[in-house]
Amino acid sequence: MNAVADPTVNASPRENPPPPQGPRRSIGFFTACAIVIANIIGTGVFTSLGFQLPEIHSGFALLMLWIVGGIAALCGALSYGELSAALPRSGGEYHFLSKIYHPAVGFMAGIVSATVGFAAPVALAAMAFGKYFNGVFGFGSPVVLSFAIVWVIAFIHLGNLRLGSTFQNISTLVKLLLIGGLIGTGLFLDPKQPVSFLPAAGDTTSIFGAPFAVALVYVMYSYSGWNATAYISGEIKQPQKNVPRSLLCGTLVVIVIYSALNAIFLATTPIRELSGQLEVGLIAGKHIFGENGGRGVGAIICFGLVSAISSMTWIGPRVTMSMGEDNPLIRFLGRKNRNGIPANALLLQLLFVNLLLLTRSFELVVVYIQFTLLLCSLLTVLGVIVLRQTRPQLPRPSKVWAYPLPPLLFSAITIWMMIYIFRSHPKESLAGLATMLAGLVLYVLTGKRLGKSA
């Protein structure tokens, strides 16, 4: 489908589904898992506990927060895994919603992803990187560092897929080794206070109380990114097997890491020092590694942010690329360079990232897109049920375990979160819906049946 395809070298584009250029299946299972892990682990796990402690005092209930949030993410991962195996093409929600409901629905989701859906989280992570890097190493302007990191990572991914894969694997591996060192060191320290992670009297009340439900919203934000490889399934080897497995394994690894980290924080650091504090990881680091321990945790967060920026720089342009392949009006965004990289789409995302870094308004943008991103993932997970009814004969190399419980459980939690977000941020939520409606208007004005070639 790409305009730059060379018919003298490759077979006719009609004989192959898009994208016809470059190394189409070059990402293995290990790299796919690294992308999922890197896309999930950010700063959330190092900051959330302080806001949970004022209302929740049970060690078991606090640990259950991260386990319940992980189970919800796992339900979403299983659902996306089935869809990725049945409809193996890059694009994530844009591709899935186009095939399940209507191309207009997919286009609305794609507009959000192509503009700020990935650019805003990248900008937010880049600014956090600049702040932590300056705090750990004591030099460099946080603003300059934020621009530098997004440009360096973008040029790495503009090179070729092998270079991008190697960088993603190394950055994620270093992050996991550092986090493993933090957990391992914490295990050898004597507990600073009596804390039990076994169920006790009163824990049921804590788990089913309002504070637990409110805290779960922020825990779920920390798990966002569990669907990462669904956006790049067109480039993954044996996607019917490796995409579902990478989503499952990557999410399971993060559940273990998140649960272990919070257990270590609670066991090694006095609760009175953590309660109500934002920089939980830095405070706990001082108790684990000594007075300069906060710098060590800051370094861990820096590496975590590098791998997260890398994964979003990788997967975000693939959504725009899929839209460009389907819509002649933006065909240039669907083109790949000689190394199989959607360079135009990647540079467009880099432009949005830089604009957000310049305006410093991206934090408001992140709030505004949360509602629409949740809506897109809700429609996608419910699409598992819809697709089983409308296309029962469609081959499904991977199926959701205990169907239909996982998609229903994920949908129930997501709807609850959307209600909470709408009540707390009605203007931003309505603005997000307006963006999707603008995408619908744009779809109608183009007069194109998007997604037919998917």
Mean predicted lDDT score pLDDT of the chain: 85
Give the C-alpha separation, 112 to 365, whole Å: 11
Q: Which residue has the higher pLDDT, 16 or 80?
A: 80
Instruction: Write the pLDDT tens digit of every residue in 125-139.
Output: 999 899 889 888 888
pLDDT of residue 328: 82
Instruction: Write the pLDDT tens digit of every residue in 247-275.
Output: 999 999 999 999 999 999 998 888 888 88
pLDDT of residue 11: 37
Enter the pTM of the model. 0.85
Structural domains in the chain, sorted by start = 26-446 (1.20.1740.10)
pLDDT of residue 140: 86
Instruction: Write the pLDDT tens digit of every residue in 404-450.
Output: 999 999 999 999 888 888 888 888 889 888 888 888 888 887 764 44
Residue type at 59?
Answer: G
- For 438, half-sphere exposure in the C-beta direction (CA atoms, 13 angstrom radius) is 10
Give the C-alpha separation, 415 to 423, whole Å: 12
Residue 317 clears pLDDT 90, i.e. is over it = yes
Instruction: Write the pLDDT tens digit of every residue in 143-166.
Output: 999 999 999 999 999 988 888 889
Q: Give 187: exposed, middle or buried? Use CB within 10 Å, 0-12, 13-18, 19+.
A: exposed
